[in-house]
Amino acid sequence: MKKKEVLKYSNFRKNFRFDYKPLEIKEYCIYFNGELVEDENKKYSEGKTFLNIGYNFKNSCARVLSNLYPLKFKFRGKWVASIEGILQGIKYKDKKMQNLVLKYSGLDAYHTRAANTSDFWGKEGLLYWQGKAIKRDSEDYQIFLDELYLSALKNPLYKKFLLETGEKYLLHHIGHENINETVLTRFEYEQRLNSLRSYIKMARK
């Protein structure tokens, strides 16, 4: 993907009016924008104002837009099986191991992290792409994420499902908040999904 295309979206994302809201927890229930997201026994994948993204939810859009969903696309010259495969793969400094992880999707991709616990990336805050280090808290990493999700849009199915969500806020309520504990925070994920949808719509006008 051309650098110019990535930077164009990066600038759009930074200026995007993103209405990010904290989750509220009351009596063991989780709320977003005043609406119930999860109670003690059941997870709600959709509300009047939001769509909760998750691989195990029944809503088709919620499943397909999950990073775990099997989604073949090309990223930096490599065919990958899912977004999750990349997010787990960048935890590996060794290129051969990384390339293996890129071939996985779903929970199989998620669980590859277990093979890298002795070399936890959070100790030094470094991630890797093909042996080259990227600082987790850097602008370079944010641009890396931008390129990742732009690349996923090259898969027509992903793009179609993103547009099918309409105007609802795209939420991922199980996402973590601390950048030292996750390679993709709830904020980073939701900002990209919501801004990408607007970015696509803008390009179609």
Query: Looking at the domain assignment, is residue 36 inside a domain?
Result: no
Number of domains in the chain: 1
pLDDT value, residue 40: 84
Query: Looking at the domain assignment, is residue 68 inside a domain?
Result: yes
74-117 pLDDT, tens digit each: 999 999 999 999 999 999 999 999 999 999 999 999 999 988 77
Please list the helix, strand and coil fractions of the chain in percent, rounded to the nearest 5, in that order: 45, 15, 40
Q: Report the C-alpha gap between 114 and 107 in whole angstroms.
A: 12
CATH number where 149 lies: 1.10.357
pTM for this entry: 0.95
| Sole residue written with tokens 């994302």 | 13
Query: Looking at the domain assignment, is residue 47 inside a domain?
Result: no
Judge whether 6 and 150 are in contact, CB under 8 Å: yes
pLDDT value, residue 111: 95
Judge whether 90 and 128 are in contact, CB under 8 Å: yes
The total number of residues shown for the chain amounts to 205
Mean pLDDT, rounded, of the chain: 94
Query: Looking at the domain assignment, is residue 99 inside a domain?
Result: yes
Query: Looking at the domain assignment, is residue 96 inside a domain?
Result: yes
State the residue range of the domain holding 119: 3-23+64-167+177-204
pLDDT value, residue 45: 66
**Residue 122 banded pLDDT, cuts 50, 70, 90:** confident
